[in-house]
Structure 1
Amino acid sequence: MNLKKLFEMQKGLDSHIEEQHNLQTEDLFDRKVLALLVELGELANETRCFKFWSLKAPSPKEVILEEYVDGIHFMLSLGIVCDFTEKVTVHNNEANIVELTEQFLEIYRLINVFRTNRSLQAYQDMFQSYLCLANLLGYTNVEIEQAYLQKNEVNYERQQQGY
């Protein structure tokens, strides 16, 4: 995954949104953290991994991937806010946790750790855990990057239409 390219694209989108909504002087960190938590919940909802009471199948793979990359947008955006874009390294996406519900809970925990201390290590742990989730969901880095590029275009279009 070309993180440098994704960070640059996200920086462009963030700047566009901040200018359009006159937010250049606002501290958006906590709102972006909350947005990430909400997106993570939406993703979990589409996987239905925690819905032990339901027989309904998960959403189609494309729908889950789109929800997943919504989270990537906010992960990148938070890295930009903290000026980590040149410092982030990610490794292979093999998860130590093999159960989706556990992985979701771990990511929630790591997001809150990052919110509390805003360190590079906490950011990388959070991002790495999110990438491990992609592996558990069966997505490759290529699929994630392609879906991110497509969703980035959609996000720009939405801004043009007054989203």
Structure 2
Amino acid sequence: MDIQGLFAIQKQLNDRIVQEHQLNEQDLFKEKLLAFLVEVGELANETRCFKYWSRKSSSERTVILEEYVDGLHFVLTLGLSLGFENIKLKENDSYQQSVTEQFLTIMQQTHQLDLNRTLDKYQQLADSFFVLGQLLGFSHKEIERSYLQKNKVNHQRQDAGY
């Protein structure tokens, strides 16, 4: 996955939104954190991994991938906000946690990033988010392809006055 390329593409969208919505003078970090947590919650809801009381199966794989990519937009946005664009993706194929545990780890790490906005905390969050993608069965190639498609949709939404 070309993570540096994804940061560059996300920067274009973020810059466009800031300019078109006249947000240049605003610190939006808290809004971005909350937006990320909301996206993570929406993704968890689609996987239904925590719904022990329900027999209904998870959403279709394509729906889950789209929700995952929505979260990726905000992982990248958080890194851009903090100036942490030069991260390396860690290859990890030995998972110690369930999907539910991974969601909880991501949420905890998001709160930790808010308290301590360091490269180390951001790298941990990004790593955990990519591990979640792997736990959900997505390849880096699939994630990147879906991200690029959703990014086009996001630009179209801005064109339409979203």
Residues 105-142 of structure 1: CA distance to partner in whole angstroms, max 9, x if unpaired? 01101111111111000000000000000111000000
Matching of residue 3 in structure 1 with residue 11 in structure 2: no
Q: In 2, are the aligned partners of 1:95 and 1:132 still within 8 Å (CA)?
A: no
- Cα shift at 1:94: 2.7
Identify unmatched segments of 5+ residues in structure 1: none
Which letter maps to 1:16?
R
- Cα shift at 1:96: 3.3
Matching of residue 82 in structure 1 with residue 82 in structure 2: yes
Separation in 1, partners of 2:94, 2:56: 26
**Matching of residues 14-93 of structure 1 within 5 Å:** 14-85=14-85, 87-93=86-92
- Cα shift at 1:158: 0.5
Separation in 1, partners of 2:105, 2:39: 15
1:110 is matched with which residue? 109
- Cα shift at 1:98: 3.4
Backbone CA RMSD of aligned residues: 0.9
Separation in 2, partners of 1:29, 1:96: 30
Residues 49-94 of structure 1: CA distance to partner in whole angstroms, max 9, x if unpaired? 0001111110000000000011110010111111111x31121143
Which letter maps to 2:61?
K
Separation in 2, partners of 1:58, 1:142: 22
Separation in 2, partners of 1:84, 1:112: 17
- Cα shift at 1:95: 5.1
1:152 is matched with which residue? 151
1:162 is matched with which residue? 161
Q: What fraction of aligned residue pairs are identical, expressed as a percent? A: 49
Residues 137-158 of structure 1: CA distance to partner in whole angstroms, max 9, x if unpaired? 0000000000000000000000
TM-score by length of 1: 0.97
Matching of residue 119 in structure 1 with residue 118 in structure 2: yes
Q: In 2, are the aligned partners of 1:95 and 1:136 still within 8 Å (CA)?
A: no
TM-score by length of 2: 0.97
Separation in 1, partners of 2:103, 2:123: 16
How many residues were matched structurally?
162
Separation in 2, partners of 1:95, 1:116: 29
Separation in 1, partners of 2:92, 2:146: 17
Separation in 1, partners of 2:31, 2:113: 14
Q: In 2, are the aligned partners of 1:114 and 1:122 still within 8 Å (CA)?
A: yes
Separation in 2, partners of 1:162, 1:78: 23
